[in-house]
Amino acid sequence: MLSGSNLDACYDLRRDEVKKAIEYINRQVGTAIDIGELTFLTEMNVIMSMLWGGTLEADQQNKVGAEFRKVFAKILGLLSKPNISDFFPILARFDIQGIEKQGKALLQIVGEIFDAVINERVKIVEDEIKNAGKKKDFIHVLLELEKQEVDGVKINKRQLKAIMMDIVIGGTDTTATMAEWTMAEVVHQREVMEKVQKELEEVVGMNNMVEEFHLSKLHYLEAVVKEAFRLHPALPLLIPKRPSQSCMVGGYTIPKDTRIIVNVWAVQRDPQLWDNQLEFKPERFLSEPSKWDYNGNNFQYIPFGSGRRVCAGIPLAERMVMYILASLLHSFDWKPTKAKDEDLSEKFGFVTRKATPFLAVPTKRLHN
């Protein structure tokens, strides 16, 4: 579902949502824009469009999006909340903090939203899709998997909805958070923003909008994004791991079922590994770019994890963060609403957000 060919097939959907964001900003020129909120809503619409491929009517999609956004923050809040039962399993059945009860209620709401979408999607038969010239969307792919059986096992409706929820949660908040962090760093370092915009002028031109085929040529912007992922990894502790059998790692015995947490935030700020580790310096990623990819082969830099459990959404995340940032910085100049030394501290949680929302004021760069 997240292969290059399927992502290419969904490009028009991503392009439409980014254009809507640019058009919105164009109407708000001179006023403060909440970058985190803007990128979150854009990414949410992108993910929803990719899931059901525009087969829902616009007003219906907006309704689904509005309903999901209501529970989204609560879900992430529960994910960020320490659960005493994780440390004292004997207390799990008492649900002292009410986390299990709240979680079940929120998941039921999400399940009902997805049920409505799936039921609507099932009504659209294969012939109608072909006749309308529409490509398969993610839900269509999942529904096909539901009919298949491999080694006596096939996906059921509950698992289908779980996959959808993983895609929506994993593909929205983290991407929006990284776009906000990158913009905050870039806007507060004018020389970095000027370098990015100069590169955009050379690659895209001042009479064109950014397209995804431009992204592979934006080497400095890519370095800027990678530096933002280094300083502000979206998931500072990644996702907890649990080995299915005892093993040896670096001379240490890891017992079976031990809960393993990897502190990527600390690794990527380790002064023994990085020069001027607290400085936002994109140039460090311009040399040997293949050494600094997102696939987790270099344990010095693993913002998406590594190994068999590396993030499945890397291709989509990389495209969307780059595409949104390139569009925002190419179409507009940005100034912070506060002094240059605005607080760039972090707010601890499952996802590392800015302690305060980042507001910036846009002015037009493009004539048309």
pLDDT score of 18 more than 80: yes
**pLDDT confidence band for 282 (50 / 70 / 90):** very high
pLDDT > 90 fraction of the chain, expressed in percent and rounded: 45
Which is it for strands 346-347 and 332-336: parallel, antiparallel or unpaired? unpaired
pLDDT score of 200 more than 90: yes
Per the CB < 8 A criterion, the answer to whether 360 and 337 are in contact is: yes
Per the CB < 8 A criterion, the answer to whether 50 and 13 are in contact is: yes
**Per-residue model confidence (pLDDT) at position 63:** 65
CA dist., res. 352 & res. 277, Å (int): 18
Whether 247 has a binding-site annotation, put simply, is no
Exposed e or buried b per residue across 47-76, where buried means at least 16 C-beta atoms within 10 angstroms of its C-beta: bbbbbbbbbbeeeebeebbeebeebbeebb
User: How confident is the model over 204-251, as pLDDT tens digits?
Assistant: 999 999 999 999 999 999 999 999 999 999 999 998 889 999 999 889
- Alpha-carbon distances of 299 from 147, 282, 292, rounded to whole Å: 40, 19, 10
Q: What does the DSSP 8-state code read for residue 136?
A: P
**Per-residue model confidence (pLDDT) at position 124:** 62
**pLDDT confidence band for 343 (50 / 70 / 90):** confident
pTM of this structure: 0.85
**Per-residue model confidence (pLDDT) at position 185:** 95
Which is it for strands 252-254 and 346-347: parallel, antiparallel or unpaired? unpaired
323, two tokens: 């595409």
Signed CA dihedral, 359, 364, 365, 368: sign only: positive
pLDDT score of 342 more than 70: no
CA dist., res. 118 & res. 44, Å (int): 18
pLDDT score of 341 more than 50: no
Q: What does the DSSP 8-state code read for residue 321?
A: H
Q: What does the DSSP 8-state code read for residue 241?
A: B
Parse the chain into domains and list their residue ranges.
Answer: 4-34+190-364
User: How confident is the model over 302-331, as pLDDT tens digits?
Assistant: 999 999 889 988 998 999 999 999 999 999
Domain 4-34+190-364, CATH 1.10.630.10 — does that match? yes
